[in-house]
């Protein structure tokens, strides 16, 4: 347990001499930030609409949700018995285990899905990062990916795994990450065998936004659809793709390789330049409509950057023009896709996304949604702390360091929020400890270290 006296004894004078100190975070402000994302009145309404609570309440849905998110959601020892004890301690009630276990029903899953959807809306509306001036042409940069969570083998008939030599079960956590909100924009749980391409459906929501994704979402028909809806995309080039060069977008002196009219497979072995930047044409088939599929072509930009270490070109496909991004910037921007991998690492390493041992389907889904809700609440507080910090310190609040500290103080954050929800005054010692850890301990001590979002956001 983190003790308040340790906080009061921690020296800060040396830190303050080096740079401005981040502003502290009061316990009331912290609790109100959480209770805004999980508004008690809205949560009560969700509990009734989903059927999670009946007229005679034995469980307070708000207290249950807070315990599930800020206690169970950061615990690596995940069991329903532990969750029951934690809820009883915070809500000051006694429940029979059979009664508590019986609460993990499809109604609870519906309740948590509603809560996650509402919290995502709150995260989107909260102030987050601003894109750098060179990226101001985009309203946001969205990163698409999914991660598999291994489940109890008894669930294999319900959620069968893919490419497994033994009986196994798994679910995919499908995520669309917003760089501006520094958190998820959409979340979904789907069977592991669901193809990634089916999980990305462009519509008007992609307008003026740049989508980054890996080869799991590679589809020329998908790329065309994104462009038709006013969006932009950036992905690696699939090995089997062989587009035809239309024209070079760079001027090369001397005996440069002629590109026009040739296929990529013909040109690449003979190419000897550090950067390839050209317009290409790709043939593809439209979706089958009334039994007929029509052929079409996609004109986009192909960028290649030579990797000296591995002696090969890294090839990218995009519809972002040269006036917005140079070829080198295209390659640099694709590295942002690693941001979503860090988010999955955070979910699994700190919020125990893959530490679910129960074989009860409803409990599995409920606990997965709880982990995702923990991430959203963590991001909401992160954005608040980062926004209040001096501008020169903001980049030093990195995701994994933040997750480490947030997990340490989550029990105290829960106590503060429960006191505020009950109308009591939060413990000032808890408030001081939490404020110190979230504003100062979460700050990366390495001032000059390069960070993933450097150059892309404020």
Which string of b and e fits 14-23 if b means at least 16 CB within 10 Å?
eeeeeeeebe
Closest CA to 368 of 198, 113, 164: 113
Q: Say what the pLDDT of residue 7 is.
A: 36
Could you tell me the residue ranges of all domains in the chain? 4-125+358-441
Q: Say what the pLDDT of residue 80 is.
A: 67
User: Helix/strand/coil (H, E, C) string of the chain?
Assistant: CCCHHHHHHCCCHHHHHHCCCCCCCCHHHHHHHHHHHCCHHHHHHHHHHHCCCCCCCCCCHHHHHHHHHHCHHHCCCCCHHHHHHHHHHHHCCCCCHHHHHCCCCHHHHHHHHHHHHHHHHHHHHCCCCCECHHHCCCCEEEEEEEEEEEECHHHCCCCECCCCCCCCEEEEEEEEEECCCCEEEEEEEEECCCCHHHHCCCCHHHCCEEEEECHHHCCHHHHHHHHHCCCEEEEECCCCCCCEEEEECCCCCCCCCCCCCCEHHHHHHHCCCCEEEEEEEEEEECCCECCECCEEEEEEEEEEEEECCCCEEEEEEECCCCCCCCHHHHHHHHHHHHHHHHHHHHHHHCCCCCCCCCCCHHHHHHHHHHHHHHHHHHHHHHHHHHHHCCHHHHHHCCHHHHHHHHHHHHHHHHHHHHHHHCCCCCCHHHHHHHHHHHHHHCCCCCCCCCCCCECCEC
pTM: 0.87
Q: Say what the pLDDT of residue 74 is.
A: 67
Reported as a single tens digit per residue, the pLDDT across 315-368 is 999 999 999 999 999 999 999 899 999 999 999 888 878 778 788 899 899 989
- Dihedrals phi, psi of 7, to nearest 5 degrees: -65, -45
Q: Say what the pLDDT of residue 35 is.
A: 94
Reported as a single tens digit per residue, the pLDDT across 167-220 is 889 999 999 999 988 889 999 999 999 999 999 999 999 999 999 999 999 999
| pLDDT tens digits in sequence order for the chain, 458 residues long | 444 334 333 344 444 445 566 777 889 999 999 999 999 999 999 999 999 987 666 788 998 899 888 876 666 445 666 677 767 776 677 777 666 777 788 999 999 999 999 999 888 766 567 787 888 889 999 999 999 999 999 999 999 998 777 888 999 999 999 998 888 999 999 999 999 999 999 999 999 999 999 999 999 999 999 999 999 999 999 989 999 999 998 866 555 677 889 999 998 988 888 899 999 999 988 877 777 778 889 999 999 999 888 889 999 999 999 999 999 999 999 998 999 999 999 998 888 787 787 888 998 999 899 999 999 999 999 988 988 888 888 888 888 899 999 999 998 999 999 999 989 888 888 899 999 999 999 998 887 776 666 666 66
Neighbouring residues of 201: CB distance < 8 A, sequence distance ≥ 6 = none
Closest CA to 399 of 442, 434, 441, 368: 442
């Amino acid at each position: 347990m983190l003790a308040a006296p340790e906080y009061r004894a921690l020296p800060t004078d040396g830190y303050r001499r080096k740079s401005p100190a981040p502003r502290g975070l009061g316990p009331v402000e912290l609790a109100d930030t959480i209770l805004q994302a999980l508004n008690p009145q809205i949560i009560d309404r969700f509990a009734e609409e989903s059927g999670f609570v009946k007229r005679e309440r034995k469980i307070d849905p708000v207290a249950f949700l807070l315990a599930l998110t800020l206690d169970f959601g950061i615990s690596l020892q995940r069991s329903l018995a532990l969750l029951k004890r934690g809820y009883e301690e915070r809500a000051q009630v006694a429940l029979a285990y059979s009664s508590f276990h019986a609460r993990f029903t499809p109604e609870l899953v519906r309740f948590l899905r509603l809560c996650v959807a509402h919290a995502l809306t709150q995260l989107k509306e909260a102030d987050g990062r601003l894109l750098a001036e060179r990226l101001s042409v985009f309203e946001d940069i969205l990163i698409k990916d999914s991660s598999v969570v291994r489940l109890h083998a008894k669930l294999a008939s319900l959620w069968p795994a893919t490419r497994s030599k033994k009986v196994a079960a798994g679910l995919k956590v499908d995520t669309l990450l917003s760089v501006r909100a520094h958190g998820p924009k959409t979340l979904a749980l789907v069977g592991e065998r669901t193809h990634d391409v089916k999980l990305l459906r462009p519509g008007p929501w992609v307008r003026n936004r740049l989508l980054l994704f890996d080869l799991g979402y590679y589809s020329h028909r998908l790329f065309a659809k994104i462009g038709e809806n006013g969006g932009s995309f950036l992905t690696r080039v699939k090995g089997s793709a062989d587009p035809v060069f239309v024209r070079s977008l760079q001027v090369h002196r001397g005996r440069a390789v002629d590109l026009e009219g040739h296929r990529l497979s013909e040109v690449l072995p003979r190419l000897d330049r550090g950067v390839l930047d050209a317009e290409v044409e790709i043939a593809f088939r439209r979706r089958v409509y009334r039994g007929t599929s029509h052929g079409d072509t996609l004109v986009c930009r192909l960028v290649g950057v030579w990797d000296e270490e591995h002696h090969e070109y890294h090839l990218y496909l995009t519809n972002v023009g040269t006036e917005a991004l140079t070829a080198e910037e295209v390659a640099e921007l694709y590295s942002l896709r690693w941001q979503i991998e860090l988010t999955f690492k955070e979910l699994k390493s700190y919020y125990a996304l893959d530490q679910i041992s129960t074989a009860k389907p409803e409990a599995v889904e409920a606990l997965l949604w709880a982990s995702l809700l923990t991430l959203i609440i963590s991001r909401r507080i992160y954005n608040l702390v980062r926004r209040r910090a001096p501008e020169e310190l903001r980049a030093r609040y990195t995701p994994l360091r933040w997750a480490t500290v947030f997990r340490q103080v989550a029990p105290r954050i829960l106590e503060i929020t429960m006191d505020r929800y009950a109308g009591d005054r939060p413990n000032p010692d808890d408030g001081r400890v939490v404020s110190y850890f979230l504003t100062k301990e979460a700050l990366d001590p390495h001032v000059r270290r390069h960070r993933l979002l450097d150059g892309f956001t404020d």
